[in-house]
Chain A
Amino acid sequence: MKIGLDIGSTTIKCVVLDQNEQIQYQTYQRHLSLIAEKTAGIIQEIRQRFPQCHDWQIAVSGSAGMGMANACGVPFIQEVYATKIAADRLAPGTDCIIELGGEDAKIIFLDGSLEARMNGTCAGGTGAFIDQMASLLNVSPEHINDLAAACEQLYTIPARCGVFAKSDVQPLLNQGAKKSDIAASILYAVVNQTIGGLAQGRPIKGNVLYLGGPLTFIPMLRESFDKVLKTGGTCPEHSLYYVCLGAAYLADQSCSLEDFLSRLSGYAAGSEWETLPPLFRDQAEYDAFVKRHEGADVPRGSLKDYQGPVYIGIDAGSTTIKAVVMGSDGSLLCTFYQGNTGNPVPLVRDFLMDLYRRRPDLWVAGCCVTGYGEDIIRHAFHADYGLVETSAHFTAAKAFMPDVDFIVDIGGQDMKCFHVSDGVIDNIYLNEACSSGCGSFLQTFANALGYDTEEFARLGLFARGAVDLGSRCTVFMNSSVKQAQKDGATVGDISAGLSVSVVKNAIYKVIRPSSLSQLGTHIVVQGGTFLNDAVLRAFEQELGVEVVRPAIAGLMGAYGCALYARRKALPQQKSTLSGPEELKAFRHQVKNVTCGLCNNHCHLTVNTFGDGGVYIGGNRCQRPVTKKEDTDNLNIYRFKQEYMKGLQPVPGRLGIRLGLPLGLNLWEMAPFWHGFFTELGFTVVLSPLSARETFLKGQATIPSDTVCFPAKLLHGHVAELVEAGVQAIYYPCMSFNFDEHLGDNHYNCPVVAYYPETIAANMHLPEGIQFINDYTGPHNPKEFPEKIRQTLIRYFGNRFSKNDVQRAARKAYAARDAFLSQIREEGQKIIRRAREAGKTIICLAGRPYHADPEINHGIDMLLTGLGLAVISEDCLSHLEKKFPVRVLNQWTYHSRLYAAAKYICTQRDMQLVQLISFGCGLDAITSDETRSILQQKGKIYTQIKIDEITNLGTIKVRLRSLLAALEQKEK
Chain B
Amino acid sequence: MAELKYNKQGRLLFTKEMKKEYTILVPDMLPIHFNIMRHIFVNEGYKIELLDNAGEHIKQLGLKYTHNDICYPALLVTGQFLDALTSGQYDPHKVALIIMQTGGGCRASNYIHIIRKALERAGFSYVPVISFNLSGLESNPGFSLTPSIIRRMLAGVIYGDLLMLMSNQTRPYEVKKGQTDRLLEIWINHIGEQFKRKKGCSIKEMKQNFRDMIHAFAEICRKKTKKVKVGIVGEIYVKYASFANNSLEKFLAEQGCEVMVPGLLGFLMFKVDARVQDYKIYGGNFMVYMIAKKFLGYLEKIEKLFMDSINQFSDFVQLSSYQDTKPPVKGLIGLGNRMGEGWFLPAEMIELVIHGYENIICTQPFGCLPTHICGKGMVHKIKSMYPHSNIVPIDYDPGATRVNQENRIKLMLSVARENLCEV
Contacts and interface: CB of A to CB of B under 8 A. Distances in A.
B69 interface: yes
B376 A704 contact: yes
Given A706-B367, A921-B367, A924-B67, A472 B398 contact: yes
A274 B411 contact: no
Interface in B359-394: 366-370, 372-374, 376-381, 383, 387-388, 390
Nearest to A925: B110
Contacts of B414: 77-78, 80-81
A337 to B, nearest CB: 33
Given A514-B121, A703-B379, A928-B67, A750 B415 contact: no
B404 interface: yes
A656 interface: no
A749 B369 contact: yes
In this complex, which of B105, B337, B339, B390 has the most chain A Cβ atoms within 10 angstroms of its Cβ? Answer: B105
Interface string A460-476: 00000000101111001
A794 to B, nearest CB: 12
B372 A476 contact: no
In this complex, which of A120, A200, A787, A888 has the most chain B Cβ atoms within 10 angstroms of its Cβ? Answer: A888
Contact of B373 (A758, A774, A924): A758
Interface in A704-728: 704, 706-707, 711
Contacts of B337: 733, 753-754, 757
Contacts of B376: 703-704
A477 B283 CA distance: 49
A775 B336 contact: yes
A704 B283 CA distance: 32
Interface in B284-307: 284
A783 interface: yes
A811 B304 CA distance: 49
Given A482-B403, A750-B339, A508 B372 contact: no
B105 A751 contact: no
Interface in B250-294: 278, 281-284
A927 B281 contact: no
B407 A120 contact: no
B283 A780 contact: yes
Nearest to A513: B121
A484 B103 CA distance: 41
A200 B376 CA distance: 10
B183 interface: no
Contact of A750 (B105, B336, B407): B105
A116 interface: yes
A757 B373 contact: yes
In this complex, which of A118, A776, A887 has the most chain B Cβ atoms within 10 angstroms of its Cβ? Answer: A887
Given A479-B404, A783-B282, A508 B367 contact: no
How many A residues touch the partner, as a band? 35 or more
B223 interface: no
Given A66-B403, A480-B401, A750-B339, A118 B377 contact: no
Contacts of A758: 372-373, 377
Interface in A91-132: 112-116, 118, 120-122
A341 interface: no
Given A479-B401, A512-B68, A925-B107, A733 B336 contact: yes
A121 B395 contact: yes
A200 B411 contact: no
Interface string A622-652: 0000000000000000000000000000000
B107 A922 contact: yes
A66 B377 contact: no
Given A733-B337, A923-B69, A757 B64 contact: no
B86 to A, nearest CB: 14
Contacts of A514: 120-121
A891 interface: yes
A779 B282 contact: yes
A113 B67 contact: no
Contact of B56 (A468, A471, A472, A761): A468
Nearest to B71: A921
Interface in A905-954: 919, 921-925, 927-928
B161 interface: no
Contacts of A711: 372
A754 B367 contact: no
Nearest to A477: B399
B63 A121 contact: no
B406 interface: yes
B372 A121 contact: no
Nearest to B410: A78
A924 B404 contact: no
A512 B67 contact: yes
Interface in A58-85: 63-64, 66-67, 76-81
B332 interface: yes
A210 B379 CA distance: 26
A890 interface: yes
Contact of A118 (B336, B367, B408, B413): B408
In this complex, which of B64, B368, B406 has the most chain A Cβ atoms within 10 angstroms of its Cβ? Answer: B64
Contacts of A64: 403
B369 A922 contact: yes
A274 B59 CA distance: 12
A799 interface: no
A476 B400 contact: yes
A120 B278 CA distance: 35
A787 B281 contact: yes
A587 interface: no
A864 B367 CA distance: 33
Contact of A761 (B377, B387, B398): B377
Given A512-B68, A780-B284, A748 B121 contact: no
Given A112-B387, A121-B399, A754-B370, A509 B381 contact: no
Interface string B87-118: 00000000000000101011101101110110
A887 B401 contact: no
A592 interface: no
B338 interface: yes
A78 B410 CA distance: 6
B406 A704 contact: no
Contacts of A754: 337, 339, 370, 373-374
A761 B333 contact: yes
A444 to B, nearest CB: 17
Interface in A496-534: 508-509, 512, 514-515
A762 B381 CA distance: 7
Nearest to A891: B105
A6 to B, nearest CB: 13
B70 interface: yes
Contacts of A891: 105
Nearest to B404: A479
B109 A706 contact: no
Contacts of B410: 66, 76, 78
B283 A483 contact: no
Contact of A470 (B71, B368, B398, B411): B398
Nearest to B9: A884
Interface in A732-764: 733, 735-736, 745, 747-751, 753-755, 757-758, 761-762
A671 B63 CA distance: 42
19 contacts: A121-B400, A476-B401, A512-B67, A512-B68, A515-B121, A706-B367, A735-B105, A747-B105, A750-B372, A753-B105, A761-B332, A761-B381, A774-B334, A787-B281, A787-B282, A884-B9, A886-B113, A888-B110, A928-B117
Interface of B: 9-10, 56, 59-60, 63-64, 67-71, 101, 103, 105-107, 109-110, 112-114, 116-117, 120-121, 137, 278, 281-284, 332-334, 336-340, 366-370, 372-374, 376-381, 383, 387-388, 390, 395, 397-404, 406-408, 410-411, 413-415, 418
Q: Which 3 residue pairs across A and B have the least CB separation, nearest first?
A: A783-B283, A777-B282, A476-B399
Given A113-B388, A776-B282, 8 more contacts: A113-B387, A121-B400, A200-B380, A274-B56, A483-B401, A753-B339, A754-B337, A921-B69
